[in-house]
Structure 1
Amino acid sequence: MTPTQLFEAAAEGNLDFIRKHKEHYRDKNERGWTVLHFAARYGQLEVATFLSSQAGCDILAVNNEGKTAADVAEFWGHDKVSKVLKPPTPSVSNTQILEKDTSDSNNTLVSNFSQNITNFFAGSFLNRLSRYRNDYSILQRLAHSPQSKFILFSKLNPLFDKSNDNSVYLASYSEVASLVDMIYGENKNIEKAVSKDEPILVFLGVDERNAKGEEGVAYWALDVTPRGKCQESLEDLTKEFESRGLDFAPTLPKAFKIDMRLASVLAQARAMVDWNKRNAFCPGCGRVTASAEGGHKRVCPVPKEDESCISHNGGVHNFTYPRTDPVIIVCIVHPTEDKILLGRQKSWPGKMFSCIAGFVEAGESIEEAVRREAIEETGIVVDRVSYHSSQPWPFPNSLMFGFIAEAVTTDIKLEDKELESAVWFTRSEVLASLKGNKDSPFAMPAANAIAYKLVKTWAFEWSRVISAKI
């Protein structure tokens, strides 16, 4: 018997074969997959249930991409398998707010909190360890660690591995040593003048699933866009990667096809590289800014006694920190009929409709932004608002707050012309679209988008959500 035969048996659901080879439950293939990973990938619930109960099987084992079997099952939509493989929930701490359910004769403790919702581009497995950002010696050690992983970008396009299901390629220090050493080299003078050709390198955090702190695996974002004095060497580096079956490609839609937790790290990495590129110059005097705090702050290098830069005057204006723009997105419910309101922009593909969305403005709460965007884009007046969940959207730096809201009026008026059309869709029409019915009058956004999750919640779970009014 070879491990490959066992992996094939798990993928096919051959439990009888698997029972006979307990000594191989911890074996891994070249990609770090165990027999449990294969059962999870192909949704073999009976096999996964059996293996998770065996002493020789480690449900927390991770593959080369840092994914547990539960992560694999969740990514491929095998929810029942994922639930079986999730580690036991820790016991409730005394800091949680609990109450007795008087309707239960056993006085069961019931949490006041609803179930957590984690959308795509969220749910990172990294501990960001912000306390490390001001310690150059720690960052220097982590940057040179042979187990550190670097997500590379060229013109904001991440490096994907075509030979590994187009997953994000995680480079090692040895592959990018010359660039890393420009920031964290042994002979680096951190007081030297700032150079516009210095690479963008951002400390993202540490994967502590197998080891804590500096013993864990550090993740970094590194921009390798050819430019300046480094252009020729960076062009050579790009060609070398491409010769190995790697490819710098736009983040979307490829990111939606990789593991959700790795996608969240990719989202953080892209947002931070983009922010550093956009803030290369001081807004006060135009000088090249210096990277600080592991890439999470940029400062004007002009000495404080030099009054030629206004960024030094009044508080901490000499510091530039990463920005996040809040955006609301809302599924609007008809006040009297079983319908929801969706809109369409002219540039969208096919017959796609989605939820109403827009940026939160200065001096405005997110609830007020929901009501304003609804009336500006569709002429619909919205009253009660229920918060659902949020989704990072690093294109370049948004955070989307999702809501389901109740309309007061029903007459649609597209006065600001931002939308091509807006329509009240019935529940049957929505269900047809969610099921991918080609005869549906409209198409939904991608299933990983928060708009899809909002509509799906209304269609299947609205009775549970309406108790969470803001």
Structure 2
Amino acid sequence: MTAPIPDLPVLAEDDSMLSRKFGREVANYFSGSPLNRVSFLRTDHAFLGAAFAHPTASFLLVDNLSPLGKDAANLAYVGRDDIVSLTGSAPFDKSEEDQIKEFNSNITHPVILFLGLDEKKKTGFEFREYKGSPYFAVDVTPKGSIEAKAKGVIEAVKAKTGLSFIPGGRLMTLNAPEAAIYAQARALLDWNHRNPFCGGCGHRTLSINAGTKRVCPPTDLADVPEGAAPKQRPDCPTRHGISNLSFPRTDPTVIMAIVSADGTKLLLGRSKRYPPHWYSTLAGFLEPGESIEEAVRRETWEESGVTVGRVVIHSSQPWPYPANLMIGAIGQALPGDGEAIHLGNDPELEDARWYGFDEVREAMVTGVSGLGEAAPKGYKEGGLRIPPQTAIANQLMNAVINGYLTLPAKI
């Protein structure tokens, strides 16, 4: 078997009833952040201001969703002095109410995310009973009215540190704890990028609550003479009743390892974009009014024609590309015609096959690689290739072939 991912976060082993019954909890890449998000404090501007101003606060710079890094495995953080020319010295000094009153759609503000507190670092920051090193992410993408300032920050940091931004559409090389920090930052910054305009009325929105909420202000100071009353904007449904239009979205997706009726084979599929001989578990989005189990059965049948009976949930994985939650499940095909593969429903897959456990075990040793990577050493041409351990698909396959469905309950 392939070695565990270094630093992949897992709960400490325990002797709880649930662990005895179901085994140790599985953690996947992009989960397990070392930061306490203290999300209830994002509306507290006294807390945010104190955290931002603290000399030990760490700031992750992100340019077009690429983070500043020491290398491909490690993020890099800068201090407050490195970004204050862009953010200002006190970006959290105004309440949500005041920010809305002073909204000017001609002015671009950099999105500043509060990520959380690293409680293991005793840096002297303390707010009420909450202690730890504050972490923020700052969007330094040059755009709008802050383009020149953002470029200045980027150039100054590069010159000072010699560091650069880690390129790539999908970062899967970071060490596990920092991958979780990046996942949080990337998903929220991407959401802010995609929602500059209101879905209810089409006008510009304003980022508040340390990057975790966008509002549609009722007035606008754009092009208004100094001292004059702000312009009224059209009525908007987001200002009435309870509305989640302006909060970050997470799209639930099922990904499933489907086992044959006799428990000896795994169903794997491939799309046209996969490298030769590279197969993975099936996956698809949940639909409104659908349970996880129903989605597993529906997506499996639509993509492969295989009919699934019992479904159990295994683990989950945040997937910040852009905002998915991969819900990992294991299902078992119904015997007989239920195992027949038919690709005529949904044309998403190019191929789907049943693979024996031994062939999957061999692939775990010699066929693991990312989509854009070459096959590893020891790979024999024509053999099965599968996703890396950073993908939940690999973890689901590994669980099945190592007896997840047959381990006796320890009660």
Counterpart of 1:438 (choices 379, 382, 390) is: 379
Counterpart of 1:398 (choices 307, 311, 324) is: 324
Counterpart of 1:245 (choices 158, 162, 178) is: 162
Are 1:429 and 2:359 counterparts? yes
* Change in 2 beyond 3 A, CA 1:434/1:288: same
Higher relative contact order (CA closer than 8 Å, sequence separation 6+): 2
Aligned position for 1:153:
62
Aligned position for 1:411:
340
Return the alpha-carbon distance in structure 2 between the equivalents of residues 395 and 75 of structure 1: 20
Counterpart of 2:311 (choices 365, 371, 385) is: 385
Counterpart of 1:371 (choices 285, 294, 297) is: 297
* Change in 2 beyond 3 A, CA 1:261/1:174: same
Conserved 8 A contact 1:205-1:220: yes
Shift, 1:171, TM fit: 1.6
Shift, 1:302, TM fit: 0.7
Return the alpha-carbon distance in structure 2 between the equivalents of residues 441 and 75 of structure 1: 23
TM alignment of 1:17-416, pairs within 5 A: 76=6, 111-112=20-21, 114-162=23-71, 166-181=73-88, 184=91, 190=99, 191-195=101-105, 196-211=107-122, 214=127, 215-243=131-159, 244-250=161-167, 255-302=171-218, 308-312=234-238, 314-317=240-243, 320-336=246-262, 338-408=264-334, 409-415=338-344, 416=346
Conserved 8 A contact 2:199-2:245: no
* Change in 2 beyond 3 A, CA 1:239/1:464: farther
Shift, 1:295, TM fit: 1.4
The amino acid that maps onto 1:451 is: A
Return the alpha-carbon distance in structure 1 between the equivalents of residues 215 and 379 of structure 2: 54
Return the alpha-carbon distance in structure 1 between the equivalents of residues 89 and 121 of structure 2: 30
Shift, 1:74, TM fit: 7.0
Conserved 8 A contact 1:333-1:339: yes
Aligned position for 1:451:
393
Return the alpha-carbon distance in structure 1 between the equivalents of residues 216 and 92 of structure 2: 22
* Change in 2 beyond 3 A, CA 1:467/1:449: farther
Deviation string 1:378-435 (CA, Å, 9 cap, x unpaired) is 0000001121100000100000000111011121111211011101111121111001
Deviation string 1:22-68 (CA, Å, 9 cap, x unpaired) is xxxxxxxxxxxxxxxxxxxxxxxxxxxxxxxxxxxxxxxxxxxxxxx
Return the alpha-carbon distance in structure 2 between the equivalents of residues 175 and 397 of structure 1: 29
The amino acid that maps onto 2:258 is: I
Where does structure 1 lack aligned partners over 5 or more consecutive residues?
A: 1-72, 99-109
SS in 1 for 2:402: helix
Aligned position for 1:7:
none
SS in 1 for 2:272: coil
The amino acid that maps onto 1:208 is: E
Conserved 8 A contact 1:300-1:318: no
Q: Note the aligned Cα RMSD (angstroms).
A: 3.0
> Whose radius of gyration is greater, 1 or 2?
1
Deviation string 1:145-170 (CA, Å, 9 cap, x unpaired) is 121111111111111223xx641111
SS in 2 for 1:280: coil
Where does structure 2 lack aligned partners over 5 or more consecutive residues?
A: 220-231, 367-377
Conserved 8 A contact 2:86-2:149: no
SS in 1 for 2:207: strand
TM-score when scaled to structure 2? Answer: 0.82
- Which structure has more helix as a fraction of its residues? 1
* Change in 2 beyond 3 A, CA 1:245/1:283: same
* Change in 2 beyond 3 A, CA 1:395/1:318: closer
TM-score when scaled to structure 1? Answer: 0.72
Return the alpha-carbon distance in structure 2 between the equivalents of residues 280 and 346 of structure 1: 34
Shift, 1:307, TM fit: 8.3
SS in 1 for 2:237: helix
Shift, 1:111, TM fit: 4.7
* Change in 2 beyond 3 A, CA 1:187/1:283: closer
Identity rate of aligned residues, in percent? 36
Aligned residues: 371
Return the alpha-carbon distance in structure 2 between the equivalents of residues 287 and 252 of structure 1: 29
